Amino acid sequence: MHKTIIIGTGPAGLTSAIYLARANMEPLVIEGWQPGGQLTTTTEVENFPGFPDGILGSELMDNMRKQAQKFGATFKTGSVKSVDFSKRPYTLEVEGLGQLQAESIIISTGASAKYLGIPGEQENIGRGVSTCATCDGFFFRGKKLIVIGGGDSAMEEASFLTRFATEVRVVNRREELRASKIMQDRARGNEKVAWSLNRTPLEVVAGENGLQGLRVRNNETGAEELLEADGVFVAIGHTPNTGFLGGQIETDAQGYILVKPGTSETNIPGVFACGDVQDTTYRQAITAAGSGCMAALDCERYLEAQAHEAVHA
């Protein structure tokens, strides 16, 4: 039996682990088969406070993990397949570990960026291919970029990237954009934004000296062309990692966990959520870490209240 189990090891989960471990709560952290969250797919992180020269994403996550371990957090590797939140203690079915029980749970499983699944995409993540303009845009100062997508997030990323790039070309499979009119107008009104609509991305093309561009097919003519670019930003959305919850936690239509405003509390007492799994707006390492702190403090107060009730029952 554990006081707290934390599911996930991105900035949110690891910050929760640090706070709970320092409070002598001895949290157990379940890290998946690819621990560290989305930061491990990026190279240098320059916008996390305290690192004026930047830090590798994998190094930042490793440091957070070591910090949590130093104060008494325990880490086990496994994949949570299902949960039972119908009664306390709560039960997790974990591949590789079997059944685990805890008085409280912190869910910090994050959200996975959607990818196109085309050749050259995965091989060049962190080497010209990105899913986060605010994370990586700075590295492309004076370069030509491509943003793939037609929704609000794609328009927002394209507009943001014009701060650094000489040209940002929006590539979308359809002629029409799904983005709201205000976001479309903002992008269309930016002279640095170019458009390649009704184009299907076929391949991210890279050479010895880095990314060369994106090979696309014109859906009207069938002709293929190479759109030259130094970087490709895939902006087709994210998928929150909440499938294992089996509908026991309230989520929005996209699957993001709903929390009580200003807290990390879910609809189940003693179950908390933090990081990108409940954040549809900011999705930054520092906001994830901050929400991880909130979840730890909320969890600690919950356990204290439960202990007080037990004494006076």
CB within 8 Å of 194: residues ≥ 6 apart? 167, 168, 169, 170
pLDDT tens digit sequence for 124-133: 998 999 998 8
Confidence of residue 135 (pLDDT cuts 50, 70, 90): confident
Let me know if 132 is a catalytic residue: yes
pLDDT band at 294 (very low <50, low <70, confident <90, very high): very high
Contact 215, 205 (CB under 8 A): yes
pLDDT of residue 34: 66
Residue type, 143: K
Task: Give Cα 120 to chain centroid, integer Å.
Answer: 22
C-alpha–C-alpha distance, residues 298 and 276, integer Å: 18
* Block residue for tokens 């701060």: 163
Residue pLDDT, tens place only, 71-114: 999 999 999 999 999 999 999 999 989 999 999 999 999 998 89
Flag whether pLDDT at 41 surpasses 70.
no
> What residues pair up with 233 in beta bridges, in sequence order?
130, 147
Is residue 309 packed enough to be buried (19+ CB in 10 Å), middle (13-18) or exposed (0-12)?
Answer: exposed
Mean pLDDT to the nearest integer, 243-269 = 96
Q: What is the CATH number of domain 2-112+238-311?
A: 3.50.50.60
Task: Give the domain ranges of the chain.
Answer: 2-112+238-311, 115-234
Catalytic residue chosen out of the listed positions 53, 135, 298, 299: 135
From 53, 84, 136, 152, the catalytic residue: 136
Residue 216's pLDDT is 98
Q: Confidence band (pLDDT; 50, 70, 90) for 42? A: low
**Is 293 one of the catalytic residues?**
no
Instruction: Given the residues 132, 230, 274, 279, select the one marked as catalytic.
Output: 132
H helix runs in 129-272, sequence order: 133-136, 152-161, 181-188
The pLDDT value recorded for residue 309 is: 82
Please give the order of strands across the beta sheet that includes 210-218.
199-207, 210-218, 224-228
Same fold, 2-112+238-311 and 115-234: yes
* DSSP string across 270-303: TEEE-GGGS-SS---HHHHHHHHHHHHHHHHHHH
Alpha helix (H) residue ranges in 82-195: 133-136, 152-161, 181-188
Concerning whether 136 is annotated as a catalytic residue, the answer is yes
Parallel/antiparallel/unpaired status of strands 210-218 and 199-207: antiparallel
CB 254 within 8 A of CB 280: yes
Phi, psi of 187 (to 5 degrees): -70, -45
Rounded to a whole number, what is the largest CA-CA distance in the chain? 76
In three-state secondary structure terms, 150 is coil
Of 40 and 249, more confident: 249
115-234: CATH number:
3.50.50.60
C-alpha 267/C-alpha 54 separation (Å) is 38
Element (H, E) at 106: strand 98-107
